[in-house]
Structure 1
Amino acid sequence: MVRTRDLDEARHITSAKLCDHKLELVGGRSDLFVRHNAVRGQSISANYLHYGADVTVNPGQLGSFYLFQVPLSGCAKIRHRGEEMTATTQMGTILNPDRGALLHWTRDCSKLLLQVDKNQLEAVARSITGAPLPGPIRFEMQVDLTNGAGRQLKRLVMACAQGIENGDLFQGQLAARDLRAEEDLAHALLTLQPSNISHIIARSDRRANLREIRIALEYIHANLAEPITLADISKAARMNVRTLQKGFQRIYGQSPMQVLRNARLDTAHYLLAARRHPPSVSEAAYSCGFSHLGRFSSFYKERFGHLPSEQR
């Protein structure tokens, strides 16, 4: 997005992609050299940002999005929701949209920033709980990136960034895998990071019965070629996402999306093993809902021990 030593240019361009904010240099001498990379999906955007100088950033209230910050180097002092903390490579932060923030970045600080649209996050929360929200979702600010849920969150965000670098995610027109990645990231934030609705999420598993699970499974097999999501499956089975996930884990030892992927792979395997007129690998992949041939081949080999092109 920008490579500049000009403070006003940096503020103008980063404001357009993130949100309007005040940006000030700290101290006299400045080695300011702003680097900002950004990729936007439908409800999520991933950003890399480095200032190269000590700066103060005052965005006020973010308004329309949550911001998950993963420091890659250096540190930043942050004030938010009446708390103060220092973000480091071991401790990330989540900023809530309806509370002000003030950030002091050190000259060696660089961050990976994940913007999550407020409306989309609330929609995912409602699909998890199967009920209206009591009010705005507010996360705890600090995210321990070194163990447990925080480490898992960081791993997912870094995997997303790597997917972007590899050209697998958010490359122009949005594909089904992009929308699934967005849903997965929003779901992970809600289930892994403590918030004021964590207790509602924890109580939302009402234990699915076998009939509901069978309906979900039938929906999966009837829509193998379609870009269906977790929310689509739960809606078809008339249960919330949390109940759906717990039910599949209890009965199959897998998540619904793992069951979907394996069903797609099994169908592709059947097609490629046909004695007469088997389809090409790409035809089999696309007809079974895979839009990325490299990923399809990798999953296929993992499941069957050989590449789809080696199928006899």
Structure 2
Amino acid sequence: MSLHRQSYFSNHPVLRTRDLDEARFKVSQRFCDHRLDVSNRNSQLSVTHNAVRGQHLSVNYLSYGAEVTVDPGELGSFYLFQMPLSGKASVAHRGDEMTAHVGVGTILNPDRSALLRWGESCQKLLFQIDSAHLETVARNLTGAPPPGPIRFDMKVDFTRPNGKKLQRAFAACAAAIENGGLFQRPLSGSDLQVEHDLVYALLTLQRSNISHIIARSDGGTRPRDIRHALEFMHANLAEQITVLDIAAAAEVNVRTLQKSFLRVFQKTPMQVLRDTRLDAAHYLLHARRDVPSVSEAAYSCGFSHMGRFASYYRTRFGHTPCKRM
């Protein structure tokens, strides 16, 4: 799969600079504090950084235009999935060292240090995934909290079947953003579904220290009716849909759907729908920009009764709904 182009997300610029200190400061704001050095003093730094943010995931295009060394130490609060578009980068992580290029990507884990050496012509798509969100998806997938920090194998081979699937999924996300079909403001249920699906793909396709738990849990083969039901829910958060509508979309009868949801989530389909709506409303009220009123957030996520919305919200999040100041 060819992903290379001049740049991605040029309508969402973060940084254009030739100054080393500015590059270190601005990139640190988006990722984490790190050390940045130009390897060849005679090289001219030329940084291009574009980025688009969802709720639990941000997608970045980054090029330094010179050979640089990046030392972030431990990432802390996020995983970083790196897809090179051109050039090469040496990556040291978890005691291993490898060279990333268009055929091989990498995943960096939050609690292990990393050291990266970008080649002069190296350009990458960087997917920054909140570790708390990844752990939530893993818990839903396996039916139990992870026994400890989730750690992926660093190397993602895009020439092998699972690596190809991951590359296609994340490349499709980048293409949808580039075409204006994803992560526009305000975020929609479809955006949240894409974030979930990308993390689900990572957990089920990339080897990690919980791969054996996922294999035993049957989560890696979630029933077709569950998948279709969830897709229908996310696409219709604002609509007054019923369990009959959800069952029809999943192409099963209501009893079968109820049993599937109770087995996988220990909740009914309507309880899962309500939680999904509450999560979407919570995000809207805590967005960085264009924050709606509480009533607007409630109505846009399918709640028509403000009293019940406030009660459900308090139960789920421990406080009444309010806009982030």
- TM-score exceeds 0.5: yes
**Alignment-derived partner of residue 204 in structure 1:** 217
Aligned equivalents of 2:200 and 2:226: distance in 1?
Answer: 23
Q: Of 246, 262, 265, which residue of structure 2 is paired with 1:238?
A: 262
Q: Of 6, 11, 34, which residue of structure 1 is paired with 2:24?
A: 11
Letter in 1 for 2:73: G
Q: How many percent identity over aligned positions?
A: 56
- Asked whether the 8 Å contact 1:69–1:113 carries over to 2, the reply is yes
Secondary structure at the aligned position of 1:79 is classed as: strand
- 1:102-148 deviation per Cα after TM superposition (whole angstroms, max 9, x unaligned): 00001000000001100000000010111121111000000001221
Question: Is 1:67 aligned to residue 117 of structure 2?
Answer: no
Cα distance change of structure 1 residues 6 and 203 upon mapping to structure 2, 3 Å threshold: same
**Alignment-derived partner of residue 143 in structure 1:** 156
Aligned equivalents of 1:77 and 1:214: distance in 2?
Answer: 43
Cα distance change of structure 1 residues 215 and 177 upon mapping to structure 2, 3 Å threshold: closer
- 1:11-50 deviation per Cα after TM superposition (whole angstroms, max 9, x unaligned): 1111111111110010221121000011111000000000
Q: Of 73, 78, 89, which residue of structure 1 is paired with 2:91?
A: 78
Secondary structure at the aligned position of 2:81 is classed as: strand
Secondary structure at the aligned position of 1:188 is classed as: helix
Question: Is 1:116 aligned to residue 126 of structure 2?
Answer: no
Question: Is 1:179 aligned to residue 192 of structure 2?
Answer: yes
- Asked whether the 8 Å contact 1:130–1:239 carries over to 2, the reply is no
Aligned equivalents of 2:236 and 2:55: distance in 1?
Answer: 22
Question: Is 1:105 aligned to residue 118 of structure 2?
Answer: yes
Cα distance change of structure 1 residues 10 and 213 upon mapping to structure 2, 3 Å threshold: closer
Cα distance change of structure 1 residues 236 and 9 upon mapping to structure 2, 3 Å threshold: farther
Aligned equivalents of 1:216 and 1:105: distance in 2?
Answer: 39
Letter in 2 for 1:102: L
Aligned equivalents of 2:30 and 2:75: distance in 1?
Answer: 12
Using the size of structure 1 for normalisation, the TM-score is 0.69
Secondary structure at the aligned position of 1:108 is classed as: coil
Question: Is 1:37 aligned to residue 61 of structure 2?
Answer: no
* Alignment gaps of 5+ in structure 1: 242-288, 290-312
Secondary structure at the aligned position of 1:59 is classed as: strand
Letter in 1 for 2:262: R
Question: Is 1:226 aligned to residue 247 of structure 2?
Answer: no
Cα offset, 1:207, TM superposition: 11
Cα offset, 1:240, TM superposition: 3.0
Aligned equivalents of 1:234 and 1:21: distance in 2?
Answer: 49
- Asked whether the 8 Å contact 1:143–1:150 carries over to 2, the reply is yes
Aligned residues: 236
Aligned equivalents of 1:207 and 1:77: distance in 2?
Answer: 32
- 1:220-244 deviation per Cα after TM superposition (whole angstroms, max 9, x unaligned): 9899833799xxx899812337xxx
**Alignment-derived partner of residue 91 in structure 1:** 104
Using the size of structure 2 for normalisation, the TM-score is 0.67
Secondary structure at the aligned position of 1:237 is classed as: helix
* Alignment gaps of 5+ in structure 2: 1-13, 247-256, 266-301, 303-325
Aligned equivalents of 2:260 and 2:150: distance in 1?
Answer: 26
Cα offset, 1:3, TM superposition: 0.8
* Rg larger in structure: 1
